[in-house]
Amino acid sequence: QKEVEQDPGPLSVPEGAIVSLNCTYSNSAFQYFMWYRQYSRKGPELLMYTYSSGNKEDGRFTAQVDKSSKYISLFIRDSQPSDSATYLCAMRGTGGYNKLIFGAGTRLAVHP
Amino acid sequence: DAGVIQSPRHEVTEMGQEVTLRCKPISGHDYLFWYRQTMMRGLELLIYFNNNVPIDDSGMPEDRFSAKMPNASFSTLKIQPSEPRDSAVYFCASSSLAGGQETQYFGPGTRLLVL
């Protein structure tokens, strides 16, 4: 079993839709949770970062962490064609540097 | 800043040849990471350096892979001899302790095809 599970999609939605992307994980030591966005033929870029449980909002993006269920989500409101990309979740533990563990990535297509 | 710079952007080589990938991290960053991305395995950490010293190379697939960081502004990932299963996109990323270790900045990647 992988430490981080993420449905690779693809996910296709119409412009303006609310998008929900999710990851589950097995390691209870994970404390830092991130979402990266990767456009085609580009490197991943950090989109959202959360520590421990709770919600974080940034514009049209909301990240949620439910540590009791070992489940994290990224919501995109009013999705735009420019949101079309692959979204990777990533997480790590605490105590010095712990390497990031990435999900497989979910490919999202927002069509006009 | 120009961001993380990688070269070459594309590499096509034949099985058995030596391949050298290059990376210039963001100035002032003290962590450097090498990742490999494939459809089958996703994004995998191969090795990372802190202050030019290799800290964790447990992700390096086998002895054919080696990485060096001779100074703070340059790193190489070498594959010798290369095999078709090494075909992937190789990313270099860097981060600063001051900026938060989780804020890794990725380069554009090197697309490697081994025939």
Q: How far is CA A26 from CA A8, A21, A44, A71, A89, in A?
A: 18, 18, 23, 9, 14
Query: Distance (Å, rounded) from C-alpha A93 to C-alpha A54?
Result: 16
Q: A27: helix, coil or strand?
A: coil
Query: Distance (Å, rounded) from C-alpha A51 to C-alpha A44?
Result: 20
Kindly list the residues from chain A whose CB atom is less than 8 angstroms away from the CB atom of residue B93.
Answer: 43
Question: Which of B104, B105, B112 is the best mutation test for A, with the most CBs of A within 10 A?
Answer: B104
Highest-confidence range of A12-21, A85-94, B36-45, B101-110, by mean pLDDT? A12-21
Q: Write down the mean pLDDT value for chain A.
A: 92
Residue B101 has pLDDT above 60, yes or no: no
Nearest CA in chain A to B55: A97
Under DSSP, the state recorded for A7 is -
Contact state of A45 with B55 under an 8 Å Cβ cutoff: no
Contact state of A43 with B42 under an 8 Å Cβ cutoff: no
End-to-end CA, chain A:
37
Which residues of A sit within 8 Å Cβ distance of B? 32, 34, 41-46, 49, 88, 90, 92, 97, 99-100, 102-105
How many cross-chain Cβ pairs, A to B, lie less than 8 Å apart? 45
Beta strand A19-25 with A71-76 is: antiparallel
Residue B13 has pLDDT above 90, yes or no: yes
pLDDT band at A96 (very low <50, low <70, confident <90, very high): low
Arithmetic mean of pLDDT, B52-68: 93
Q: CA of B18 to nearest chain A CA: how many angstroms apart?
A: 24
Query: Distance (Å, rounded) from C-alpha A99 to C-alpha A92?
Result: 6
Query: Distance (Å, rounded) from C-alpha A2 to C-alpha B14?
Result: 32
Beta bridge partners of B112: B11, B88
Query: Distance (Å, rounded) from C-alpha B96 to C-alpha B103?
Result: 8
Report pLDDT digits (tens) over A29-56.
Answer: 899 999 999 999 999 999 999 988 889 9
Query: Distance (Å, rounded) from C-alpha A42 to C-alpha B68?
Result: 24
Arithmetic mean of pLDDT, A63-70: 94
Candidates B56, B91, B100; nearest CB to A99? B56
